[in-house]
Chains A and B, each alone.
Chain A
Amino acid sequence: DTGVSQNPRHKITKRGQNVTFRCDPISEHNRLYWYRQTLGQGPEFLTYFQNEAQLEKSRLLSDRFSAERPKGSFSTLEIQRTEQGDSAMYLCASSLFGGAGEKLFFGSGTQLSVL
């Protein structure tokens, strides 16, 4: 069990550029979540997958955001035409649906700065 892995750890980009983040969940976990956290606030839910199916999307996930989880393993979160308001920590978490209490395990996050 190597934990949830997120890459890159930090990303600096210019406004209008596209960025993509990757999340590798704990191998046996079938659920994967994306959250966004701004400074001094708690994380906000963006979307989640059960296996390869995207089951829920937040209103925060505008049409510039897209997430995929091909083959139910790793996931990518892409932001197109980035805006300064997209600057935040993007957190990925995974869990085992049907496991005891379905505890979420978070990665260390990707810190995005849009200049």
Chain B
Amino acid sequence: KQEVTQIPAALSVPEGENLVLNCSFTDSAIYNLQWFRQDPGKGLTSLLLIQSSQREQTSGRLNASLDKSSGRSTLYIAASQPGDSATYLCAVNDLDAGNMLTFGGGTRLMVKP
């Protein structure tokens, strides 16, 4: 059974810092991996999707990498801003899971002005 872990569970940084969020998964037979952002009491917004054949994806100040063999992904946020404060979730789509996403518990990020 796929298990997804995110470290750290919570992170507080001053504005302007570059930061890295970590995601690890136990079964490397994945179809893709997605990073989502969730604001309090709201739904999820997809940030980046990395196919299993890809190493990384970039969107603006965000860069996500994938090392399938070691079961790891990182989300890099450059020049953090207070508006980046949210919970960041990673989710893997297993090859044999019938298109079900398995989510990690999330990292709660606070960027202080």
Q: Interface of A with B (CB < 8 Å)?
A: 4, 6, 31, 33, 35, 40-45, 48, 55-56, 58, 91, 93, 101-109, 111
Counting CB contacts under 8 A, is B102 at the interface?
yes
Contact in complex: A103, B49 (CB < 8 Å): yes
How far does the alpha carbon of A35 sit from the alpha carbon of B4 in the complex, in Å?
Answer: 16
1/0 contact string of B42-67 vs chain A (CB within 8 Å): 11111001010000000000000000
How far does the alpha carbon of A43 sit from the alpha carbon of B44 in the complex, in Å?
Answer: 10
Number of chain B residues whose Cβ lies closer than 8 Å to a Cβ of chain A: 24
How far does the alpha carbon of A114 sit from the alpha carbon of B4 in the complex, in Å?
Answer: 29
- Of all chain B residues, the one with the shortest Cβ separation from A48 is B99
How far does the alpha carbon of A107 sit from the alpha carbon of B32 in the complex, in Å?
Answer: 21
- Of all chain B residues, the one with the shortest Cβ separation from A55 is B98
Contact in complex: B103, A42 (CB < 8 Å): yes
Contact in complex: B43, A106 (CB < 8 Å): yes
Q: Which of A40, A44, A103, A109 contacts B43 (CB 8 A)?
A: A109
Contact in complex: A101, B91 (CB < 8 Å): no
How far does the alpha carbon of A48 sit from the alpha carbon of B34 in the complex, in Å?
Answer: 18
3 interchain residue pairs of minimum CB distance: A42-B103, A106-B44, A56-B98
Contact in complex: A42, B4 (CB < 8 Å): yes
Contact in complex: B43, A45 (CB < 8 Å): no
Residue contacts A-B, CB under 8 angstroms, 25 given: A4-B43, A6-B43, A33-B101, A35-B101, A41-B106, A42-B4, A42-B103, A42-B104, A43-B89, A43-B91, A45-B102, A48-B99, A56-B100, A58-B100, A91-B44, A101-B51, A102-B93, A102-B99, A103-B34, A103-B46, A104-B34, A104-B44, A104-B101, A106-B45, A108-B43
